[in-house]
């Protein structure tokens, strides 16, 4: 994964200030995007089929005309396309909250995103224009709002990062304002899970990916192990050893592979936390801490321009140093792929290919999307903030936490159900030979 382009300290080369990107909906652009959406999904996502059950559509249709906040899973990386397809199925248009970096990828994509109703947020900051827009859109309730509460994708489709409570906190604030205008107001937080499953045997793609990785990691060795899973574990071990050497880590001879990879990730995360002068909370998971670090780096990278040229010079230097941390942060997410449990816990084509994707990103610097595959969409029971508002008035943090966990748990459960269905289907049609034993990792 390449680091982002560094900012030069020369004032003449400074980028334009990162200003808030409001939604600038254009019905013609929305209609055009929806028209070209199917071929775009087939080409970019390799998704040839999207499954939404009648019961799931019925749940969404029952909420028409009501104030709604859609809260989908975002672990696969391309969920905004699927939600846009969902809006097309229902004949609706939505607004979308998206990270500022998505608008900065290219002028064309940024322009299009605004025209379909997306607006920006600088993660990890008190982005007041974005917060105000979120509140305004929820209060007005002209269209449903889509926010991905994980805030970060890990590209493991069965993994859900704990939801950010700030999403529900903003929703409660909007609901409080809406109540002043309408004593019967409601605000429904709607959990949505999205899971991808392959439609064909992926053996040739799997073997080609394993061979690419082996050519980079074992250029002068003999024939690889016979079984794919043993090859995957051998590759994972080589990546771990290379990172241990790079960081001067001497592994404990008695430590398991999973213990060693956890230590390695912890070392990288702690180094970045020290550089950013952040102290993690005791209850934060490693993924939570990584997300917090991404937010902290984003906050520095998107700092407002300074008044004096000297102050700006110092800011440019901070931004340059912060951008250099992105590569290590992406590495932490990619190293998540090589712990043994993700594939072994629930053997499926999808999980195997998820890990290969992340390993190729780490070793080869390129993300591959394989297909054909289908996207399965599941809609949970909405959580109406009206039912939780009395508790919110007496204990705001407690009510926010309770609603966040209620939506998150539904997303997790639905995703697990979809994953189990995909696993059973894939094992029946395209079995992966497990082979080997745990000693491969030792």
- Pairing assessment for the beta strands 144-146 and 94-99 based on DSSP bridges: parallel
Q: What is the mean pLDDT of each run of 10 residues along the chain (442 residues)?
A: 36 50 96 94 95 96 96 89 95 94 87 96 86 97 96 83 93 97 96 95 94 91 80 89 88 83 87 89 83 86 81 87 85 66 68 89 90 96 97 97 98 93 66 45 34
pLDDT of residue 299: 83
pLDDT of residue 16: 44
**Per-position DSSP letters for 67-132, written without gaps between them:** -EEEEE--SSS-HHHHHHHHHHHHT--EEEEEEHHHHHS-HHHHHHHHHTTEEEE-TTS--HHHHH
Q: What is the rounded distance in angstroms from the CA atom of residue 72 to the CA atom of residue 80?
A: 9
Residue 47 CA from chain centroid, whole number? 18
- Pairing assessment for the beta strands 188-198 and 47-52 based on DSSP bridges: unpaired
Q: How many CB atoms lie within 10 A of CB 55?
A: 9
328, 334, 339, 341 alpha-carbon torsion, rounded to 10°:
140
Q: What is the rounded distance in angstroms from the CA atom of residue 260 to the CA atom of residue 179?
A: 53
Q: Where are the domains of the chain?
A: 20-199+370-429, 203-367
Specify the pTM.
0.85
Q: What is the rounded distance in angstroms from the CA atom of residue 40 to the CA atom of residue 31?
A: 14
Cα angle 117, 118, 123; round to 5: 160
Distances (CA, A) of 293 to 206, 275, 302: 33, 10, 14
Indicate the CATH number of 20-199+370-429 among 3.40.1130.10, 3.10.20.600, 3.10.20.30, 3.40.190.10.
3.40.1130.10
């Amino acid at each position: 994964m390449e680091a982002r382009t560094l900012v030069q300290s020369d004032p003449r080369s400074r980028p334009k200030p990162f200003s808030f990107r409001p939604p600038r909906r254009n019905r013609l652009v929305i209609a055009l995007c929806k028209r070209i959406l199917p071929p775009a999904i087939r080409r970019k996502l390799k998704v040839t089929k999207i499954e939404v059950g009648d019961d799931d559509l019925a749940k969404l249709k029952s909420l028409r005309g009501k104030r709604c906040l859609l809260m989908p899973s975002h672990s696969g990386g391309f969920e905004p396309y699927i939600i846009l397809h969902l809006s097309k199925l229902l004949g609706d248009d939505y607004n979308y909250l998206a990270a500022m970096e998505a608008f900065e990828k290219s002028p064309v994509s940024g322009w299009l995103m605004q025209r379909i109703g997306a607006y920006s947020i600088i993660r990890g900051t008190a982005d007041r224009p974005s917060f105000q827009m979120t509140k305004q859109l929820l209060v007005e309730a002209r269209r449903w709002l889509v926010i991905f509460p994980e805030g970060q994708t890990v590209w493991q489709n069965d993994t859900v990062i704990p939801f950010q409570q700030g999403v529900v906190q903003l929703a409660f604030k909007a609901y409080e304002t809406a109540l002043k205008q309408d004593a019967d107001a409601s605000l429904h937080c709607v959990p949505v899970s999205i899971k991808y499953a392959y439609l064909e045997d992926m053996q040739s793609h799997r073997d080609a990916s394993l061979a690419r990785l082996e050519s980079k990691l074992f250029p002068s060795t003999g024939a690889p192990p016979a079984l794919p899973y043993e090859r995957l574990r051998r590759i994972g071990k080589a990546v771990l050893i290379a990172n241990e050497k790079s960081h001067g880590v001497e592994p404990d001879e008695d430590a398991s592979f999973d213990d060693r990879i956890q230590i390695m990730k912890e070392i990288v995360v702690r180094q970045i936390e020290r550089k950013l002068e952040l102290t993690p909370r005791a209850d934060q998971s490693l993924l939570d801490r990584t997300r917090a670090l991404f937010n902290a780096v984003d906050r520095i990278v998107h700092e407002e321009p300074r008044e004096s040229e000297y102050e700006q010079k110092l800011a440019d230097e901070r931004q340059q140093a912060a951008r250099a941390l992105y590569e290590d942060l992406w590495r932490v997410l990619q190293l998540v792929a090589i712990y043994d449990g993700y594939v072994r816990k629930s053997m499926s084509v999808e999980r195997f290919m998820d890990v290969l994707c992340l390993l190729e990103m780490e070793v080869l610097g390129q993300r591959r999307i394989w297909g054909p595959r289908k996207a399965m969409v599941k809609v949970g029971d909405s959580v109406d903030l009206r039912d939780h508002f009395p508790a919110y008035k007496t204990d705001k943090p407690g009510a926010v936490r309770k609603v966040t966990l209620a939506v998150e748990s539904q997303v997790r459960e639905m995703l697990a159900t979809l994953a189990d269905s995909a696993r059973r289907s894939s094992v029946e049609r395209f079995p992966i030979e497990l082979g080997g034993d745990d000693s491969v990792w030792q």
